[in-house]
């Protein structure tokens, strides 16, 4: 009788140990390492111990699996002996059935479900014993580590690399959906992640929209330009806009005009930075910081002016549009009553497609919706012309002989992706 009680108590202890190992495996598999790092940085020693275990997950997993298999095998063996003693030849079959149910409910489903809900808490709880057991099982873990390396080499399996930008954005999306961060915070983080990959050609003010002045322009004309357009800086060119020689600052101009009573435009020009159109905006930001300049001229391979870009353009990629009290607020994408959109021709192609849920056109080199439409048509389209793409009709609503000014986008029933009139 005493041996029966001892067997039952042993079974209960072994099932509890199996539950512990199962919960530990689930907890460390789903633990948020960033959250553990944050708690460890705040001085939480339990979090720091759990974090150290996650740094060598293969060793941790080997320890947990070895421990779990030992207690499961021991529990099954004791149960077989116990039920054979009690039931004779039917003992092994009954033992198998009972232990399967007990282990499934109390050692697998229940502990893993609990650990999944609070992985960090359970990881910190289990870390001390797992650390001790990991030390005791060091020889066995070493054997399993070498075995894993051999199998990985035979199968040509490589370890996972560093986390990618797309994975980071997915993490941000999940955090936003779960309420961990707000919509504005999520958008700012996504903009920061994509910041390094963006080139100036995607956000510059194109050549046709540049407001510039010839260096020989009379001072009163410069005063009129500053007054009517509310710009603090004006590019100044010599001969043609392909030869921008400097930037005239409104403050310097008025100081000379009203205090010195003389205006010598060439002497007031600030040197300008020339950059190729494939320059990353993160690199340009460093250039601006070093040169203390707020405007650069984007040039092509022939030295011609492609456009200009300012420090404000870069900041807007991070925080969204910045409007001052003199700006006329213009929306690049406006929703229409018929369910469609009116889109500015200079709107970013990527942003428009993202808004509409259209997959990226990998064959296109265009950066704006007008450039994409022109590229698809093979010429500058006229008002009313357009294409069907991605389930939308994308057509010209306003144009000049030189470019598309506004585009109308409306949902269609089918997508044949062919230019039509």
Residue 43 lies in a domain: yes
Region 389-404: what's the mean pLDDT?
A: 86
What mean pLDDT comes out for the span 289-312? Answer: 87
Say whether both 304 and 337 belong to one domain.
no
**Residue 328 lies inside a defined structural domain of this protein:** no
Of the three residues 276, 297, 319, the one that is the final residue of a domain is 319
Point out which residues pair with 334 in neighbouring strands. 342
Report the C-alpha gap between 394 and 110 in whole angstroms.
Answer: 55
Q: 3-class SS at 239? A: coil
- 150 shares a domain with 20: yes
Same domain, 91 and 119: yes
Confidence band, pLDDT 50/70/90 cuts, at residue 242: very high
pLDDT at 330: 55
* 373 contacts 344 by C-beta, under 8 angstroms: no
Question: What pLDDT, on a 0 to 100 scale, did the predictor assign at position 244?
Answer: 92
Asked if residue 24 and residue 133 are part of one domain, the reply reads yes
Q: What does the pLDDT read at residue 161?
A: 53
Residue 16 token pair: 């509890």
Half-sphere exposure of 294 (CA within 13 A, CB side): 10
Name residues whose C-beta falls within 8 Å of residue 111's C-beta, 6 or more positions apart in sequence.
Answer: 19, 20, 22, 23, 26
Give, in order, the Cα–Cα distances in Å from 246 to each of 213, 262, 270, 376: 10, 19, 5, 37
In a domain, 28, yes or no: yes
Handedness of CA 161, 162, 163, 166 (dihedral sign): negative
In a domain, 325, yes or no: no
CATH code of the domain containing 276: 3.10.580.10
**Quick one: how far is CA 221 from the chain centroid?**
47
Cβ atoms 52, 138 nearer than 8 A: no
SS3 332: coil
Same-domain check for residues 121 and 226:
no
Whether residues 235 and 129 fall in one domain: no
Mean pLDDT of the chain: 82
Strand partners, 341: 335, 409
Confidence of residue 235 (pLDDT cuts 50, 70, 90): very high
Structure tokens at 300: 């092509």
Determine, yes or no, domain membership for 261: yes
Q: Is residue 327 a part of any domain in this protein?
A: no
The two tokens of residue 198 are: 């963006």
**In 3D, which of 233, 239, 302, 301 has the Cα closest to residue 272?**
233
The angle formed by the CA atoms of residues 333, 338 and 344, to the nearest 5 degrees, is 20
Residue indicated by tokens 């990618």: 164
Of 271, 287, 319, the position where a domain reaches its end is 319
Q: What is the pLDDT of residue 214?
A: 92
CB 136 within 8 A of CB 66: no
First-to-last CA distance in the chain? 94
Better-scored residue on pLDDT, 113 or 420: 113
**Residue 383 near residue 396 (C-beta atoms within 8 A):** yes
Domain assignment present for residue 70? The answer is yes
Shared domain check, 151 and 11? yes
CATH number of domain containing 415: 3.30.465.10
- CA–CA gap between residue 177 and residue 184 (Å, rounded): 13
Same-domain status, 98 and 14: yes
SS3 244: strand
- Cβ pair 296, 287 in contact under 8 A: yes
pLDDT of residue 158: 60
Q: Are residue 187 and residue 205 in the same domain, yes or no?
A: no
Helix (H, G, I), strand (E, B) or coil at 322: coil
Higher pLDDT, 377 or 322: 377
pLDDT tens across 343-387, in order? 888 887 878 888 888 887 777 777 788 888 888 888 888 888 888
Q: Where are the beta strands (DSSP E) in 265-359?
A: 273-276, 295-299, 305-310, 333-335, 341-344
> Is there a single domain that holds both residue 289 and residue 395?
no
**Concatenated DSSP letters of 168-199:** HHHHHHHHHHTTSS-HHHHHHHHHHHHHTT-B
pLDDT bucket at 43, cuts 50 / 70 / 90: confident
- How high is the pLDDT of residue 321? 60
By the 8 A CB rule, do 107 and 24 touch? no
- In this structure, the number of other CB atoms found within 10 A of the CB of residue 93 comes to 12
Three-state DSSP state, 121? helix
Check residue 156 and give left, alpha or beta (phi > 0: left; psi -120 to 50: alpha): left
Secondary structure E strands in 174-269: 205-206, 213-214, 233-238, 240-249
- Mean pLDDT, residues 204-229 taken together: 87
pLDDT at 416 exceeding the cut of 50: no
Number of domains the chain is built from: 4
Q: Which domain holds residue 185?
A: 166-191
Instruction: Count Cα atoms within 13 angstroms, Cβ side, for 207.
Output: 15
Instruction: Judge if pTM exceeds 0.85.
Output: no
Percent of the chain with pLDDT over 70: 87
Domain boundary pick from 319, 348, 370: 319
Both 345 and 232 in one domain: the answer is no
Provide the pLDDT confidence category of residue 414 given band limits of 50, 70 and 90: low
The vertex-309 CA angle with 307 and 312, nearest 5°, equals 150
Examine the pLDDT at 420 and tell me if it is beyond 70: no
Same-domain pairing of 307 and 344: no
Q: Would residue 8 count as lying in a domain?
A: yes
Which three-class secondary structure state does DSSP give residue 62? helix
């Amino acid at each position: 009788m005493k041996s029966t009680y001892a067997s039952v108590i042993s079974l209960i202890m072994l099932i509890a140990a199996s539950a512990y190992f199962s919960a530990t495996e689930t907890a460390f598999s789903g633990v948020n390492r960033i959250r553990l790092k944050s708690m460890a940085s705040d001085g939480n020693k339990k979090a720091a111990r759990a974090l150290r275990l996650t740094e060598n997950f293969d060793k941790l997993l080997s320890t947990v699996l070895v421990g779990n298999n030992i207690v499961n095998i021991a529990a099954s063996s004791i149960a077989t002996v116990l039920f054979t003693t009690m039931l004779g030849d039917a003992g092994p079959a009954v033992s198998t059935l009972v232990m399967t149910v007990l282990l499934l409910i109390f050692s697998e489903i229940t502990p893993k479900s609990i650990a999944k809900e609070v992985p960090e808490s359970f990881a910190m709880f289990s870390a001390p014993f797992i650390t001790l057991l990991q030390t005791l099982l060091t020889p066995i873990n070493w054997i399993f580590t070498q075995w894993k390396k051999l199998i990985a080499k035979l199968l040509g399996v490589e370890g996972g690399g560093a986390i990618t930008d797309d994975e980071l954005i997915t993490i941000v999306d999940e955090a936003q959906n779960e309420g961990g961060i707000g919509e504005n915070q999520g958008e700012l983080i996504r903009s920061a992640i994509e910041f390094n990959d963006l080139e100036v050609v995607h956000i510059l003010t194109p050549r046709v929209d540049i407001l510039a002045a010839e260096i020989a322009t009379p001072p009163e004309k410069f005063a009129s330009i500053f007054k009517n357009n509310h710009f603090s800086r004006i590019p100044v060119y010599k001969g043609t806009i392909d030869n921008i020689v400097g930037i005239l600052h409104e403050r310097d101009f008025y100081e000379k005009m009203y205090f010195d009573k003389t205006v010598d435009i060439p002497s007031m020009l600030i040197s300008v930075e020339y950059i190729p159109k494939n320059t990353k905006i993160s690199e340009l930001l460093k250039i601006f910081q070093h040169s203390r300049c707020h405007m650069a001229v984007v040039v092509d391979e022939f030295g011609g002016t492609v456009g200009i870009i300012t420090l404000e353009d870069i900041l807007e990629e991070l925080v969204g549009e910045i409007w001052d009290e003199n700006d006329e607020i213009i929306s690049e994408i406006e929703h229409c009553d018929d369910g469609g959109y009116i889109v500015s021709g200079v709107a970013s192609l990527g942003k428009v497609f993202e808004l509409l849920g259209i997959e990226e056109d990998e064959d296109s080199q265009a950066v704006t919706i007008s450039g994409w439409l022109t590229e698809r048509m093979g010429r500058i389209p006229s008002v009313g012309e357009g294409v069907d793409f991605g389930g939308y009709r994308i057509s010209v609503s306003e144009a000049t002989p030189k470019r598309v000014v506004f585009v109308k986008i409306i949902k269609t029933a089918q997508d044949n992706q062919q230019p039509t009139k």
